[in-house]
């Protein structure tokens, strides 16, 4: 009984390490197979459309509302200290540094990552990937790599769009509804937001999240058990793992870039 | 499946809008447009105490930012702080006998260096050193001085009003 539990623990650890190794080899395979993509760039463009353009609406709407809520909440707190003019700074810093990349990555995992996993998993379940191999077509080059790079390209653009629209949403609420001075709103923001420390770090974060989420999504799809049940649990795992990875990675990246831990 | 051309148009629009958003973050939200010191030159100054001054704090003259703090070091021989300032190259006619003071913006604001122009004919060059400096005000020292001076003047001050007080009330 007891020995069995220990054996299960060991099997679990070995299994997860094995999976991690497989995922790393898989990432290497993607990069190794990516050279032909330069000649067939349309494959990547197709995936940027599927992963980026179709995610645009949800990103823009959530960005607008997140910015508006930040405007409302921030105003209520700041006005107590007579610092309502700093609202622009508060909204911009929270969006550019944290909420933009993180919320976009979470939405991206839910909207695009799950779709990627389901698509690839279904291809595997219906033996399309095996069929490609039979025709001497490398499925990693033809199917996986375009999706991976499509996601990596789309994610930073989506995050930038989220932050920009969020700032506009904060402007609508702060200046339009609550009567914060528009000049102070923007000038405080420009004084406080540093290009290298804040904007570039946000972009670095979004690139890292893009790689993480798409990597997990395509790996889970490729590694799925080729049954309908297997695809379902792979999709589920994609969303859970990539959300957790994004939040954990966010802490590490913030600690590294702020350099104060 | 969407037609190849419309698909390309959509992706093109998406990338363009994304880059536009990034540009807005850089120029409208961030400070890249009003950015930093252009072809600056460096000037050093020794302070007895820099207080809460930080690297990248502002250097102002007449309230206008003219540069940023590039580095803050410690002079091991004089036990003073060495502040290196990066001044904007456009402001190249600052007299050599300019004095530097560490000031605070507002009551609780950040600290910055304020330059006060002198009257010399020669202008500051790269690598020059400001000799007249005024340190940051340390609140604890200020309060200490205040209490100390209060304590030292207390006997003379309290002597007069205190004298009648202990007199016993006549029955």
The pLDDT of residue A242 is: 95
Count Cβ atoms below 10 Å from residue A210 Cβ, excluding itself.
28
- Per-residue pLDDT, averaged over B26-50, amounts to 79
Q: CB-based contact (8 Å) between A42 and chain B? A: yes
Q: CB-based contact (8 Å) between A46 and chain B? A: yes
The pLDDT of residue B171 is: 59
**Quick one: what percent of chain B has pLDDT higher than 70?**
82
Which residues in chain A have Cβ-Cβ distances shorter than 8 Å to B64? none
Chain B interface disruption, residue of A40, A44, A47, A49, most B CBs within 10 A: A49
Verify whether the Cβ–Cβ distance A52 to B11 is below 8 Å.
yes
List CB contacts of A45: < 8 A, sequence separation 6 or more: A150, B7, B8, B11
Q: Which residues of B touch A (CB under 8 A)?
A: 2, 4, 7-8, 10-11, 13-15, 17-22, 24-26, 28-35
Model confidence at B108, in pLDDT bands (50, 70, 90)?
low
Reduce the DSSP state of residue B128 to 3 states and report it: strand
Would residue A189 be called left, alpha or beta, if left means φ above 0 and alpha means ψ between -120 and 50 degrees?
Answer: alpha
Query: Which residue do the tokens 């609202």 mark?
Result: A87
Model confidence at B2, in pLDDT bands (50, 70, 90)?
low
Model confidence at B155, in pLDDT bands (50, 70, 90)?
low
The β-bridge relationship of strands B80-87 and B41-47 is: antiparallel
pLDDT digits (tens, 9 = 90+) for A148-200: 999 999 999 999 999 999 999 999 999 999 988 888 888 888 878 888 888 89
Question: How many whole angstroms separate alpha carbon A54 and alpha carbon A260?
Answer: 38
Taking CB atoms within 8 Å and a gap of at least 24, the contacts of B74-82 are B75/B46, B78/B46, B80/B46, B80/B47, B80/B48, B81/B46, B81/B47, B81/B48, B81/B49, B81/B50, B82/B44, B82/B45, B82/B46
Which residues in chain A have Cβ-Cβ distances shorter than 8 Å to B13? 53
Model confidence at B34, in pLDDT bands (50, 70, 90)?
low
Question: How many whole angstroms separate alpha carbon B44 and alpha carbon B84?
Answer: 4
What is the rounded average pLDDT for all residues in chain B? 82
Question: How many whole angstroms separate alpha carbon A115 and alpha carbon A117?
Answer: 5
Contact B24, A164 (CB under 8 A): yes
The pLDDT of residue B91 is: 85
The Cα of B71 is separated from the nearest Cα of chain A by a number of Å equal to 17
The number of C-beta contacts closer than 8 angstroms across A and B is 84
Chain B interface disruption, residue of A91, A190, A202, most B CBs within 10 A: A190
Verify whether the Cβ–Cβ distance B22 to A186 is below 8 Å.
no
Model confidence at B169, in pLDDT bands (50, 70, 90)?
low
The pLDDT of residue A181 is: 84
Q: Which residue of B has its CA nearest to A95?
A: B25
The pLDDT of residue A109 is: 94
Q: Is residue B162 pLDDT above 70, yes or no?
A: no
User: pLDDT per position in chain A (261 positions), as tens?
Assistant: 688 889 999 999 999 999 999 999 999 999 998 888 888 888 899 999 999 999 999 999 999 999 999 999 999 998 888 888 889 899 999 999 999 999 999 999 999 999 999 999 999 999 999 999 999 989 998 899 999 999 999 999 999 999 999 999 999 999 999 988 888 888 888 878 888 888 899 999 999 999 999 999 999 999 999 999 999 999 999 999 999 999 999 999 998 887 654
The pLDDT of residue A258 is: 76
Q: CB-based contact (8 Å) between A151 and chain B? A: no
The complex scores an ipTM of 0.80
Q: Is residue B87 pLDDT above 80, yes or no?
A: yes
| Burial A174-193, CB ≥16 within 10 A → b, else e | bbeebebeeebbbebbbebb
Which residues in chain A have Cβ-Cβ distances shorter than 8 Å to B35? 195
Verify whether the Cβ–Cβ distance B10 to A203 is below 8 Å.
no
Q: CB-based contact (8 Å) between A165 and chain B? A: yes
The pLDDT of residue B120 is: 86
């Amino acid at each position: 009984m007891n020995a069995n539990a220990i054996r299960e623990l060991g099997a679990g650890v070995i299994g997860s390490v094995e999976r991690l190794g497989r995922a790393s080899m898989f990432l290497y395979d993607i990069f190794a197979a990516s050279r032909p993509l330069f000649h067939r760039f349309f494959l990547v463009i197709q995936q940027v459309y599927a992963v980026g353009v179709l995610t645009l609406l949800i990103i823009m709407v959530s960005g607008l509302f997140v910015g508006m809520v930040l405007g409302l909440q921030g105003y209520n707190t700041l006005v107590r200290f007579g610092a309502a003019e700093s609202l622009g700074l508060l909204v911009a810093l929270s969006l550019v540094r944290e909420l933009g990349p993180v919320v976009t990555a979470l939405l991206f995992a839910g909207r695009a990552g799950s779709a990627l996993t389901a698509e690839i998993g279904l291809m595997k379940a219906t033996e399309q990937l095996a069929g490609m191999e039979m025709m001497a077509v490398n499925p990693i080059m033809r199917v996986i790599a375009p999706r991976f790079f499509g996601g990596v390209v789309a994610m930073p653009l989506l995050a930038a769009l989220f932050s920009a629209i969020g700032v506009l949403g904060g402007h609508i609420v702060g200046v339009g509804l609550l009567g914060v001075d528009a000049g102070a709103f923007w000038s405080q923001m420009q004084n406080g937001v540093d290009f290298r420390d804040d904007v570039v770090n946000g972009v670095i974060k979004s690139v890292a999240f893009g790689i993480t989420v798409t990597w997990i999504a395509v790996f889970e799809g490729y590694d799925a058990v080729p049954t309908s049940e297997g695809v379902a649990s792979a999709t589920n795992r994609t969303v859970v793992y990539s959300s957790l990875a994004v939040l954990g990675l966010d802490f590490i990246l913030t600690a590294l870039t702020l350099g104060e831990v | 499946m969407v037609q190849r051309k419309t698909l390309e148009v959509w992706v093109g629009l998406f990338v363009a809008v994304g880059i536009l958003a990034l540009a807005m973050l850089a120029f409208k939200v961030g400070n890249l447009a009003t950015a930093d010191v252009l072809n600056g030159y460096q000037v050093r100054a020794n302070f007895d105490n820099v207080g809460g001054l930080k690297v990248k704090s502002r250097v102002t003259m007449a309230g206008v930012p003219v540069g940023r703090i590039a580095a803050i070091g410690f002079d091991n021989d004089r036990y003073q702080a060495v502040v290196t300032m990066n001044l904007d190259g456009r402001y190249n006619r600052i007299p050599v006998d300019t004095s530097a003071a560490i000031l605070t913006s507002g009551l609780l604001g950040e600290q910055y260096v304020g330059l006060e122009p002198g009257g010399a004919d020669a202008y500051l060059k790269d690598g020059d050193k400001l000799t007249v400096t005024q340190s940051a005000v340390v609140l604890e020292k200020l309060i200490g001085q205040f209490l100390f001076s209060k304590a030292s003047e207390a006997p003379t001050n309290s002597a007069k009003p205190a004298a009648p007080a202990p007199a016993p009330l006549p029955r």
